[in-house]
Amino acid sequence: MMNHHGGAAGPWLPSATCTVDHCLPAAPRTAGAARVALRAAGAAAVLCVGALCAPLCACAGRRARYALVRLWSRTLLRALGVRLRVRGHRGSGPALVVANHISWLDVVVLAAVSPGRMLAKAEVGRYPVIGALARAAGTVFIERQRLKELPAAVDRVARALWEGATVVAFPQGTTWCGQRQGPFRAAVFDAAVRTAVPVRPVALSYRQPGFAPSTVAAFVGDDALPRSLRRVIGAVELSVRAELLPPVRPSAHPSAGNHPSAGLDSSAVQGAGACGPEVGNERCGRRAARRSLAQLTTDLVVTPRGETDYAREHDRAPSG
**Overall average pLDDT of the 295-299 stretch:** 48
Q: To the nearest 5 percent, what fractions of the chain are helix, strand and coil? A: 40, 15, 45
| 17 part of a folded domain | no
pLDDT, one tens digit per residue, over 82-138 is: 999 999 888 888 999 999 989 889 999 999 999 999 888 877 777 777 777 888 888
**The pLDDT of residue 276 is above 90:** no
pLDDT at position 214: 85
DSSP SS3 for 255: coil
Query: Phi and psi of 153, rounded to 5°?
Result: -65, -45
| 228 part of a folded domain | yes
| 318 part of a folded domain | no
| 6 part of a folded domain | no
**The pLDDT of residue 279 is above 70:** no
| 191 part of a folded domain | yes
| 210 part of a folded domain | yes
Query: Phi and psi of 235, rounded to 5°?
Result: -65, 145
Higher pLDDT, 42 or 266: 42
| 89 part of a folded domain | yes
**The pLDDT of residue 269 is above 80:** no
* CA separation, residue 309 to residues 1, 188, 271, 304 (Å): 21, 16, 22, 10
**The pLDDT of residue 244 is above 80:** yes
Return d(Cα 164, Cα 63) in angstroms, integer. 11
pLDDT, one tens digit per residue, over 172-202 is: 887 777 777 777 888 889 899 899 999 999 9
- The pLDDT confidence band at residue 165, using thresholds 50, 70 and 90, is very high
Give this prediction's pTM: 0.76
- The pLDDT confidence band at residue 11, using thresholds 50, 70 and 90, is very low
Query: Phi and psi of 87, rounded to 5°?
Result: -125, 145
CA neighbor of 216 nearest in space, from 20, 2, 67, 6: 20
* CA separation, residue 112 to residues 21, 84, 211, 290, 302 (Å): 31, 9, 24, 23, 32
| 144 part of a folded domain | yes
- The pLDDT confidence band at residue 150, using thresholds 50, 70 and 90, is confident
Euclidean distance between the first and the last CA atom of the chain, given in angstroms as a whole number: 23
**The pLDDT of residue 58 is above 60:** yes
pLDDT, one tens digit per residue, over 16-46 is: 667 676 777 766 778 899 999 999 999 999 9
**The pLDDT of residue 74 is above 90:** yes
**The pLDDT of residue 53 is above 60:** yes
Domain assignment of residue 209, given as a range: 31-248+256-313
Higher pLDDT, 126 or 256: 126
Q: How many domains does the chain have?
A: 1
**Overall average pLDDT of the 245-262 stretch:** 59
